[in-house]
Structure 1
C-alpha cells in the first residue's frame, strides 16, 4: 500500500498583498479613465498612458496615437528644455509627495495652441518611479485676462492706447531717446468746437466724429509715432522725430481736418488746435511734456483755433498765476479780502446822481490789487462766481440800507449777474432771501445781465425775470450792442433798462457811424419805454452829445471813477459843476 505525505501550508496571507495590489491598480485605472481631469502617465519623457479627457484636449481619437511618444513633443519649443530638466529631477526622487506645477504651451493634433496648467507628482509602481501629470486647459482664462488687460489699457471707442499705457510707452522710449541724444516731441491735439457736435446731433454723432478723427490722425503718423486718446476730444501724440519733421506733421494734421465730417447726412466742419512741447527743452518727464503741450494748445485756442504753436515758458507763468488767483479766490471770502466800489450814474436833466453800479475790488495779499477783468473770468470758470455774487448782493443791499439812513433814499443800486449765477436753479430765491435778510427795498435793486445771458434759453430767462419783476426788482441789459443784439427778443423780455456798450461811446463825436448807432439805440429804447444808460463816458463832448440825445443816465470817468461808499457824498457835491455845465451848454456844433 502506497503511502503519501501531503504537506499543507496556508498561503492566504502571502497572496493578499498581490490581490490588494491588483485591486488598487484596477481602482486607479478606473479613476484614471473616468476622471473629469486630463491625466497623462509618463516614465521619464515617454508617455505610458493617457485618459479620455487628455486625448480630447489634444484632439486625438485613440490612445495608441499618443502612447510611446515623447511628452515634450507636444510642448512649445521655447519650454522643452525646462520641462526636460524638471522630468530628470523628478525621476531621481523617491518621495511620492513631491510635485511641481508649470504652465506650458502645447500644440494639439490640429495644430492649435493651448495654454495648459500642469500639476505633476511622482508615483511608484512596482518599485519604479513614474510621473502622473494632471493638466487643465486655461486658454480661455488667458484670453479673458488678455482681453481685460487690453480693455484696461486702451480706449474702448477708438482702440487707441489710453492715458496709462501711453505714459508707459513714452516713458520707455524717452529713456532710449535720451541715451542716443535724439529729439522727441509731444503734441496735444484738440478738436475745435467739439461740444457743438454733441449738442447738435447727439453723443452717437460725436462718437462717429471721434472715430473718423482718429483715422485721419493715424494717416499722418510715422512708424515710431504713438497716439493716445486722453479723454473727450483730446488726443496726445508722441513723435521721436527732428523738429522740422514734427512741424511738417503738425501741418499735415491741420490739412486732414479741412475735409468735412459726414455724420447722418450732416456736413460738419471742425478744425483742430495743436500744442507742441519738446523733450529736454520743455521737460524731461512724460507728465511735464503733456502739461506743456496742453498749455501751448490752449494758447492756440485763445488765438482763434485751427493752428499749432510751440510751448513757451511764459505760458506756464500765466497758468501759475491763474492757479494762484483761483486758490486765492477760495480764501478771499473767508478772509474778507473783497471790497465794493460804486460808480455813480448821473441824470443830467434831474441834475443829480440817481444810481450806482456795485463793482467788486480785490486786494490779493501777495499779488496786490487785481483787475476784475483778470479774476472774474477765473471765478466763472471755477464756479466761485456763485458765492462771490451772493456776497456782492448782500454787501450792496446792506450798503443801500445805510445810504438810505444817510439821506440817499432815491438811490438805485445795480449789481452785475454772471451767466453762471443766473443759471442756478435757486437764483430767484437767493435774491429774494438777501433782500429780506438785509431789509433793502426791492424797487431800489437793479440786476445787470448781458445780452448773451438774455438770449440763451429765452423762455427760462423770461420766467425768472418775470418773478423778479413782480417783486419790484429792475433788470438791465448790459453792454447792449456788443452781443447778439436780437431786437425781436427785447419786446418779450421783461426788462427796464438798456446800457449802451462803451465801445460805441469812445468815438462818439468823431465817427458819424457810431454816433448814428448810439442815436438809434436811444430811439429804440424810448420806443420800447425803456430807460437808457451810456457807460464809459470819459470826456465832456461825449456827455454833451448824450445829453442832447436825451440819454437818461450817464456813467463814466468824466463824472466819477468807482469810489468807496464813504466818498459818495463828497463826489455828489463835487460833480455839481459838471452837471450844470452840461445842462446849459449849447451843443449844436456837436449835433449827431
Structure 2
C-alpha cells in the first residue's frame, strides 16, 4: 500500500533521471569503437589541444548538470511544501476542531525563497527565468486565495464546504501550479539533454580525432568512466531522495494517528487500511481487507449526512457516522471522504476521527440544559419550549390544555429547620411522586425552588381526577434521612384557550390561582378567574409602594393603650403599624400586612417596629413609679427565619428598656408551624425576661397541650369573640372557656376590641380585667401615651359591676 500511495509528483522526477541515465549509457556503448579508432589514427600533435578542448566541454556539461540538479531539488522542495500546505488547508477547511488550533498561514516567504533558489541556477537563460517568474506569481495568487479560505473557515466554521466555488478555484490554481512546476522540470531536462547532446557531439568529434592515438583513446575512456561514476552517484542520490518521499507519504497513511482506509467504489470493499483504523475497530488489518464498508458503517443510524451509497456520487465532504467494532460496540466517527484513484480504479479515501466522547459530552450538556439536576424533571427553559409546541398542536386540533401550577406549602420550614440537604432530598421525592401521578397524562417540570408545573389535557373528565390524585399524593408522609415529613401543596390551574393563548399568560394566571388556593387555606386547588388578575395587579402595586414606603421612612407606629378595667389604670400599649400612601391613601393593615408577609418584607419591617417600640417605651418609662408595658406583634416569618432573640436583645440594649416591660405577641398558627423551633425561641425569650402573649387565642389550634408546652405569660381574647358578646350565646360560651383556660393554667388575660360598656361589664363579671379597645382609646401617637397614662392615674377607679 505504501508504494501505491507514494508521492505522485516524485514519479516524473524518477522517470526523468532514468531517461538521462539511459541516454548516456546508450551513447557510451555506441562511442566506444569510434573513439578507439580515432584515438589510434589521430595525430599525437593534436592530442594535447583536443584533450584540453574536451576537458572544457566536460566541465561545462557537468556544471549544467549540477545546475539542473540543484534546480530540481529546489523544485522538489517547493512541490513538497505546496502539497503539505494544500493538505493542511484541506484539514482546516474539512474538519471541525475540538480544541483550539493554531491559525493557518500560507508559507509564502518560504515558497518564494525556493523559487528564487531555483531561478539562480538559470544562469541568464531567459526562458528559465520567465517560467520561474510565472511560477512565483502563481504561488502568490494561490497564497492569497488559501489565506482567505482558511480565515473564512476559522471565523465561520462550516461556511467553507466542498461546494464552495472558491475552493474549486483554489484546486484549479493548485494543479496549475503543479503543472507549471512540471513544465519547468521538463524544460530543465530538455536543457540538460541539449547540453548532453552538445557535449556528446563534441566528444564524437574529439574521439574521431583521437582514434589514431591509443593514449588519447585511453584518456577518453577514463574520462567516460569517471563521468559515468558521477552519473551513478547522482542517480543514487536521486533514488535516495525518492525513497525519502515514499517513506514520508507512507507515514502519512500507514502511521497516521487518525484511522484511514480506502474503499473501492465499485465493490464497496476496503482495499487499504492503516494500523490506526484496525486498532480503532478492534480488527487486524488483514481481516478488514476482507470486509465491505457496510460491515462496519451503520448507514441507517448515521448521525449526520447521507448514506454512503448516495454520498459517494457527490462532492467530497465530512459526515458523522456510527461504526460497529469487532466486539459490537458502536463508535461515532467524523469521516472526511475524498474521491481518488487506486490501482486504476475509482475509490474513496476516508480519514476518520473518533468523536464518541465528544458527542456524549455534547449530549450530557444538552441534558443539563433541558433537565433539572436535582429532580431529573424537565427544567423551566425546556418546559416552556414544550408548552409552546403543545399549544400549537392544541390550536390545530381545537383541544383544551391545562396549565397546573403546584407550590409546596411551608417548604421553607423544612430548609430552615432541617437544612437544605434534607430539603433537596424532599424535593427529589416530591418530584418522583408528581411524575408517578401524572405519568403519560402530561409533562412535569420543576419551575424553580419548590414550584412544579404540569401541562396536561384540560378536559374536565381527565383533569379533575388528576388534580385530586396530586393532592392525595402530597398528603402522604415522606421519609427523608430518618425524618418523617408531612408536606402539602397549593395548586392553581389555568386553561387554554379560555385563560390565555400563550405560555406566559397561562403560567401567570395559574400562579394567580395558586395564590388564591394558599389564601383559602392551602392544600387545595383553585381554577383561575379573571378577577384574580386584578387582585394580583393590586398586590403588585401594594408591594411596590410598600417597599418604597419602608425605604423612605413613610411607615408609622401608633399605640393603643391597654387598661385594667377594674382600676382604670393604664397598664400598657400595643404597637400598631400604620401606612398612609400618597397614591393609595390610608391602607388597612389587613391589606398590606399579608403582602409584606408574602414578599418577605415583613422581616425588615417587623424588626424596625420592634426597635421603634422599645425606644418609645423606654421614653415613657422614665418615671419608674408608673411602668407601662409595650406589646409588639411578631410575624411568623420573623419567628421562623430571623434571629428573633438577637433582634430583641439588641433592641433592649440600644433603647435601655427593661426586658420585663416588653411583651411579644405571637399567633397560634406561628407556634404550630414549627413547634420545636417555637418552644426553643419562647424559652430563650422568657430567660431574657421578655413576656410572651398568644394573640387571637381561640381562633386557631387552641390546644391545652401546646399551651402547657410553650408556657406563655398571657392569652389575648380575639376581637371577633368580644364583638359577639350580648348577641351570640355560643360565642359568649367560647369567651368564657378561654377565661377558664387562662385561670386554670395561671395565665394573664386581656381582651381586645372592647367597644361598649356591655363588653366591659361581661368581661369584668367573668374575671377578665384587662382590655383594650375604642371604649378606652383609639390608637394614638407615641407622644400621647404618657399623657393618657397620667390622666388615667388621676381619674377615680370605676365602680365595681
1:116-515 mapped onto 2 (5 Å cutoff)? 116-119=333-336, 133-156=350-373, 159-178=376-395, 183-190=400-407, 204=425, 207-219=428-440, 221=441, 225-231=442-448, 234-239=451-456, 245-246=459-460, 248-255=462-469, 258=472, 273-305=490-522, 307-400=524-617, 403=620, 409-423=626-640, 426-453=643-670, 456-457=675-676, 458-469=678-689, 473-487=690-704, 490=707, 495-515=712-732
Unaligned runs of 5+ in 1: 88-99, 586-592
Distance apart, 1:217 and its partner CA: 0.8
Instruction: Tell me whether 571-580 or 382-391 shows the greater mean CA deviation.
Output: 571-580
Deviations along 1:396-438, one digit per CA (max 9) or x if unpaired, are 3443455567999443322222233345665344334434434
Distance apart, 1:533 and its partner CA: 1.2
CA distance in structure 2 between the aligned counterparts of 1:352 and 1:262, rounded to whole angstroms: 52
Unaligned runs of 5+ in 2: 1-31, 37-220, 301-305
Partner of 1:583: 799
Partner of 1:49: 272
CA distance in structure 2 between the aligned counterparts of 1:281 and 1:258, rounded to whole angstroms: 27
Partner of 1:63: 286
Indicate how the Cα distance of structure 1 residues 320 and 529 shifts in structure 2: closer, same or farther if over 3 A, else same: same
What SS does the corresponding residue of 1:395 show, helix, strand or coil? helix
Distance apart, 1:214 and its partner CA: 0.9
What SS does the corresponding residue of 1:505 show, helix, strand or coil? helix
Decide whether the 8 Å contact of 1:177 with 1:183 is kept in 2: yes
What SS does the corresponding residue of 1:349 show, helix, strand or coil? coil
2:299 aligned to 38, 56, 76, which one?
76
Indicate how the Cα distance of structure 1 residues 579 and 424 shifts in structure 2: closer, same or farther if over 3 A, else same: farther
Indicate how the Cα distance of structure 1 residues 187 and 503 shifts in structure 2: closer, same or farther if over 3 A, else same: same
* Structure with the higher fraction of residues in helix conformation: 2
- Given the alignment of the two structures, is residue 545 of structure 1 paired with residue 762 of structure 2, yes or no? yes
Decide whether the 8 Å contact of 1:217 with 1:253 is kept in 2: no
CA distance in structure 2 between the aligned counterparts of 1:277 and 1:393, rounded to whole angstroms: 41
Deviations along 1:553-574, one digit per CA (max 9) or x if unpaired, are 1212233332334555887799
Instruction: Tell me whether 68-77 or 419-428 shows the greater mean CA deviation.
Output: 68-77
CA distance in structure 1 between the aligned counterparts of 2:708 and 2:787, rounded to whole angstroms: 39
CA distance in structure 2 between the aligned counterparts of 1:514 and 1:559, rounded to whole angstroms: 23
Partner of 2:206: none
> How many aligned residue pairs are there?
560
- Given the alignment of the two structures, is residue 25 of structure 1 paired with residue 246 of structure 2, yes or no? yes
* Structure with the higher fraction of residues in strand conformation: 1
Instruction: Tell me whether 398-407 or 23-32 shows the greater mean CA deviation.
Output: 398-407
Indicate how the Cα distance of structure 1 residues 83 and 194 shifts in structure 2: closer, same or farther if over 3 A, else same: farther
| TM-score between the two structures when normalised by the length of structure 2 | 0.60
Instruction: Tell me whether 146-155 or 258-267 shows the greater mean CA deviation.
Output: 258-267
Distance apart, 1:361 and its partner CA: 0.6
Decide whether the 8 Å contact of 2:370 with 2:382 is kept in 1: yes
Decide whether the 8 Å contact of 1:186 with 1:293 is kept in 2: yes
Indicate how the Cα distance of structure 1 residues 346 and 546 shifts in structure 2: closer, same or farther if over 3 A, else same: same
Indicate how the Cα distance of structure 1 residues 481 and 184 shifts in structure 2: closer, same or farther if over 3 A, else same: closer
Indicate how the Cα distance of structure 1 residues 506 and 178 shifts in structure 2: closer, same or farther if over 3 A, else same: same
Deviations along 1:481-539, one digit per CA (max 9) or x if unpaired, are 33343445656756443322233323333545544443454355445554321112222
CA distance in structure 2 between the aligned counterparts of 1:460 and 1:450, rounded to whole angstroms: 16
Distance apart, 1:218 and its partner CA: 1.0
CA distance in structure 1 between the aligned counterparts of 2:739 and 2:733, rounded to whole angstroms: 10
CA distance in structure 2 between the aligned counterparts of 1:442 and 1:272, rounded to whole angstroms: 40
CA distance in structure 1 between the aligned counterparts of 2:536 and 2:543, rounded to whole angstroms: 10
Indicate how the Cα distance of structure 1 residues 305 and 58 shifts in structure 2: closer, same or farther if over 3 A, else same: same
Distance apart, 1:289 and its partner CA: 1.6
Indicate how the Cα distance of structure 1 residues 322 and 29 shifts in structure 2: closer, same or farther if over 3 A, else same: same
| TM-score between the two structures when normalised by the length of structure 1 | 0.78
Indicate how the Cα distance of structure 1 residues 196 and 75 shifts in structure 2: closer, same or farther if over 3 A, else same: same
Deviations along 1:259-307, one digit per CA (max 9) or x if unpaired, are 7858669999877654222345433332222121122133234334565
Instruction: Tell me whether 61-70 or 50-59 shows the greater mean CA deviation.
Output: 61-70
